Chains A and B, each alone.
Chain A
Amino acid sequence: MKKLLLIFAFVFPVYTMQAIPIEMGATLLLGSRMNYGADYVSINAPRGIVGLNNDVDGASLSPFSRPVGISTEAQLRAILSNFFYTAIGVEYTSGIKASGKYLLTNPISGALYQVTSQNVPVNGSVSLSHFSIPIQGGVVITYWRELRMYAGLGLSYNFTSQLITQTSANTDLVDFSAKSEIAPSFIAWHFNLMGEYLVIGSPEDDYRLTLNVLLQRTWGSSGIVNDAAIETNLPTGLPLAPRDVSEVNLSGYRMSLGLTYYFLRSN
């Protein structure tokens, strides 16, 4: 019985797909991920990078801002029966390196750390990039023949690389460098809303070009990951852990513009 069900599960879609209209297109998307990497929470920054920000009059500090990622994706999409779609792609996103200058505080109490009664300025930076393979499926809402909206859910497998550094900005006072470097792989979920507008060709053409705009909400994080390296140069008493642990968080919004070339139509 199980074998029969398995055969049916494979044969039925192939059989039905022969009978339904299919369109296929290749899409190239370019855009950005806002708040890329979210908070960059770690043991040395338990409230994330924005939690490191502080200011003291006359200290010439600069706060961390949240990083933005530049994202590009190549996607192969099939539209079934003019109403459903499924897509697979490859995406690469590289974060614009974010940095800040702040005074070193105890990560737990928030109190200023001082050496010989002087505040310790720190240069911090974060960088993140990831490569992912997203798949998705959903419905196509056709407004007239020239315009379509895609609404779908999907998941992606992500290979990430993240580096958080904190180094002394006054090495005469105290010299140290602490970093957290992790490269976890994990699954993330996403919801897509994409508009598509026909710019070259007519809706009946086999070959045609469309303009796309994508809005995506992503949910997914690695969970807490151990940093592989243990810092050996941290002075005694410095309120930074020798082995930092942190997480990669890809949750957030993505906005992209793109072009789709439709190259196949059946029925």
Chain B
Amino acid sequence: MKLVQSLAFIFFLYSILISGGYAQAREDSFPLDIGSGFALGLHAGYQPVHANLYPAAGDQVATTPDVYFAGLNFRYKYKFLFVRGGAEGGIAYPSATGKTTTGGNVTMSVTSVHAPVSVGLNLPLRNRSSLYMGFGYSHFIGIYNIKNDLADSTFPVSTGGTHILLGTEIKLTEKGHITLEWMQTFGLSAPVGNGTLKTRQFDLTGSRFMMGYAYYFVL
């Protein structure tokens, strides 16, 4: 599974690079145009291995859930700089399953919201496409449900983190762009738990792969 995920990751990065070349081939007579623009966008994506669990004593979740998400974003470009913000809601499918240390069953399901704000460099490819690389702040809000033979527990989590972002925009129409993005997030929840001693933490570090559509109102 790790090999498949690694190959998918390499293919995704390759797609981002090649999409720039594709745009170049289609539009080789245009002069360089690095204007400013403001856009609103929709995106959807997938994060394998969401919320790796630091387990409490007594349970061991053998797998972590994959999360599918969709959201809204805004992006503002000023020459070779960009700001991007947004929010996306996600659910885990299927739920992660595993065993407790005493042989019982344990499952973990997730409903989450992720709100990232990024800044970085926009590298325009004539006026047809652009590559952008940046980093920024992420806020994670999640409801994590862990069910084992002893309890059915729900933990609300809200924590800050960081991320790095690599993406490309390909111009379809004068104002409509297809977006393809990879975001690596970093985050860790505070300890939560049921008993007196709370030791359970949710590790929100992971890769998010996104596709979307952005419409530029001002370009």
Contact = CB atoms under 8 A, between A and B. Distances in A.
Interface of A: 32, 34-35, 47, 50-51, 53-57, 63, 65-66, 68, 103, 110, 112, 141, 143-144, 146-147, 149, 151, 193, 195, 197, 199, 211, 213, 215, 253, 255, 257
A34 B204 CA distance: 13
B196 A211 contact: no
B105 interface: no
A197 B124 CA distance: 9
Contact of B201 (A35, A53, A112, A257): A53
B126 A144 contact: yes
B199 A110 contact: yes
Interface residues of B, dominant DSSP: strand
A54 B198 contact: yes
A34 B188 contact: no
Contact of A53 (B17, B191, B196): B191
Contacts of B32: 144, 146
B121 A257 contact: yes
B193 interface: yes
Given A193-B13, A253-B164, A147 B186 contact: no
Interface in B86-145: 120-121, 123-126, 131, 133-135
Interface string B178-200: 00000010101011110011110
Interface residues of A, dominant DSSP: strand
B72 interface: no
Contact of A56 (B133, B198, B201): B198
Interface in B76-90: 80
15 contacts: A34-B186, A35-B205, A47-B54, A50-B203, A53-B191, A68-B162, A103-B197, A141-B17, A143-B131, A147-B123, A147-B124, A149-B17, A197-B80, A213-B121, A255-B133
A17 B197 CA distance: 66
A85 to B, nearest CB: 15
A213 B164 CA distance: 12
Contacts of B54: 47, 50-51
B218 interface: no
A143 B24 contact: yes
B164 A215 contact: yes
B166 interface: yes
